[in-house]
């Protein structure tokens, strides 16, 4: 392809990806069950924090970045000027992740910190596009055992996280990038509701 043909083909790719992202978000817009689940998670957080609870976020790869992003929205701010809200991204401590991964196995890199730091009444949010990430599943098992409200952000289809999450928010897509885009949208909506109610 010459330069003009390459440019045209890439412009077409841009349009297709934007359209694909909009299509999944249109499905989110029309899904009242997902709206109810987002509100439910936000309300659990707003019950937890005034009682001394905190929110734990965890995931792998891009989902680890989303976990850090959302934890930062709580401890910093989202849209409003307000007090910091207690949240932690369990993937952010590289010494902990690598030590636990080395000594106990990668499946426990989130479970062990959650076991150490989490308590009844906290909220744990595991982010996994497949719904089957073993370390997210193990952490949700710990959450369940400790009476921590367990949330999974996943993609389409039933994953292993469903067995241990009190609430699973399924993004209606099997494409990892589209799921990740909607996970951060979901997280932002939850942040905004919490901020509205706790400001």
Looking at residue 96, what is its pLDDT? 97
> What is the distance of C-alpha 149 from the center of its chain?
14
User: Which backbone phi and psi does 128 adopt, to 5 degrees?
Assistant: -150, 120
Per-residue pLDDT of the chain in tens (199 residues, 90 and over written 9): 788 889 999 999 999 999 999 999 999 999 999 999 999 999 999 999 999 999 999 999 999 999 999 999 999 999 999 999 999 999 999 999 999 999 999 999 999 999 999 999 999 999 999 999 999 999 999 999 999 999 999 999 889 999 999 999 999 999 999 999 999 999 999 999 999 999 8
Q: How many helices, marked H, and strands, marked E, lie in the chain?
A: 7, 5
CA nearest to 159, candidates 138, 137, 188, 183: 137
Q: pTM, whole model, 2 decimals?
A: 0.95
| Averaged pLDDT score across all residues of the chain | 96
Q: How confident is the model at residue 199, as a pLDDT?
A: 85
Return the pLDDT at 192.
97
CB atoms within 10 A of CB 98: 12
In tens, the pLDDT along 103-149 reads: 999 999 999 999 999 999 999 999 999 999 999 999 999 999 999 99
Q: What is the pLDDT of residue 157?
A: 85
Q: What is the pLDDT of residue 54?
A: 98
Residue with tokens 């921590």: 148
Asked whether 135 and 106 are in contact (CB, 8 A), the reply is yes
Judged on CB neighbours under 10 Å (0-12, 13-18, 19+), 171 is buried
């Amino acid at each position: 392809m010459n330069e003009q043909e390459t440019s045209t083909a890439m412009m077409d790719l841009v349009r297709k990806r934007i359209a694909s992202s909009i299509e999944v978000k249109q499905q989110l817009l029309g899904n009242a069950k997902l709206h109810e689940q987002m509100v439910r998670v936000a309300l659990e957080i707003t019950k937890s924090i005034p009682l001394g609870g905190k929110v734990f976020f965890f995931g792998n790869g891009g989902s680890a970045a989303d976990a850090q992003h959302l934890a930062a929205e709580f401890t910093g701010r989202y849209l409003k000027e307000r007090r910091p809200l207690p949240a932690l991204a369990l993937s952010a401590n590289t010494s902990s992740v690598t030590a636990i991964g080395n000594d106990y196995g990668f499946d426990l890199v989130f479970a062990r910190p959650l076991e150490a730091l989490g308590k009844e009444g906290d909220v744990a949010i595991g982010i996994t596009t497949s719904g089957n990430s073993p370390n997210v599943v193990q952490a949700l098992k710990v959450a369940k055992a400790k009476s921590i409200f367990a949330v999974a952000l996943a993609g389409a289809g039933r994953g292993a996280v469903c067995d241990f999450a009190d609430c699973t928010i399924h993004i209606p897509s099997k494409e990892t990038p589209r799921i990740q885009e909607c996970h951060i949208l979901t997280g932002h909506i939850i942040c905004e509701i919490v901020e509205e109610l706790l400001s």
